[in-house]
Amino acid sequence: MTSAGGFIKAIESGSKHLVIKRFTLRYPEKKLKFVGDGYQFDPKRGVGIAGYRGRHILFHDKCTGCQLCAIACEGIAEAIGMVKVDEKWKHNKKSIMPQIDFGKCVFCGLCVDACPFYALYMTDDYELSAFTKEHLIYTPAQLAVKPKYDGSVELKIDDRGATHG
């Protein structure tokens, strides 16, 4: 009676899970915690620093308008365009800075790798919904804002199963 044994084992396994903690992350109320402050890149060492690849943050005091990020994006998503900004920086003679269209961006982070001046990083923010496509185009001023992300839930594993709390 191997088949009966198989059924009994299956029923046992199934009913065992009735008392195990649920796995689901109740998303809008609870958000996942990420490592670090987002993906960053160290051009000196030529290697990235682990972190979540969410929307970008642009440091205006470091951007020189060299367009390397736009060139890196050219064959990938073509999401980065250089726009004129109304700011005067000594290191940014042309006063151009990247503007990112998150409707096109694939969040590969190769633009961050391309930036030699520590000006473009990525952040933990992934909630980028908008009602129109135009609203997904982030100007340099919008990119300079550090997003507030308060994810705190981590996967907990104990004897009664894995759960997101």
Phi first, then psi: give them for residue 27, nearest 5 degrees: -60, -60
Instruction: Determine the Cα–Cα distance for residues 66 and 27; give it in Å rounded to an integer.
Output: 39
44 touching another protein, by CB under 8 A: no
Query: Least distance in Å: CB of 57 to another protein?
Result: 14
Instruction: Determine the Cα–Cα distance for residues 42 and 119; give it in Å rounded to an integer.
Output: 11
Q: Please identify, using beta-carbon distances, which residue of 84 and 135 lies nearer to another protein.
A: 135
Q: Which of these, 101, 58, 95, 99, lies nearest to 82 by C-alpha position?
A: 99
7 touching another protein, by CB under 8 A: yes
Q: What is the length of the chain?
A: 165
Identified binder of another protein from the candidate list 91, 94, 146, 155, rule CB under 8 A = 155
Asked whether 136 and 130 are in contact (CB, 8 A), the reply is yes
103 touching another protein, by CB under 8 A: no
Instruction: Determine the Cα–Cα distance for residues 78 and 73; give it in Å rounded to an integer.
Output: 5
Identified binder of another protein from the candidate list 110, 118, 144, 151, rule CB under 8 A = 110
Identified binder of another protein from the candidate list 84, 91, 93, 135, rule CB under 8 A = 135
Instruction: Determine the Cα–Cα distance for residues 74 and 35; give it in Å rounded to an integer.
Output: 29
161 touching another protein, by CB under 8 A: yes
User: Which tokens go with 63?
Assistant: 């951007």
DSSP 135: G
146 touching another protein, by CB under 8 A: no
Asked whether 83 and 95 are in contact (CB, 8 A), the reply is no
Listed ranges 57-65, 86-94, 120-128: which one lies at the site for another protein (CB under 8 A): 120-128
Identified binder of another protein from the candidate list 35, 83, 84, 91, rule CB under 8 A = 35
Contact residues for another protein, defined by CB under 8 A? 2-3, 6-7, 9-18, 20-26, 28-29, 32, 34-36, 38-39, 46-53, 72, 74-77, 106-110, 113-114, 122, 127-131, 135-136, 138, 142, 155, 157, 161-162
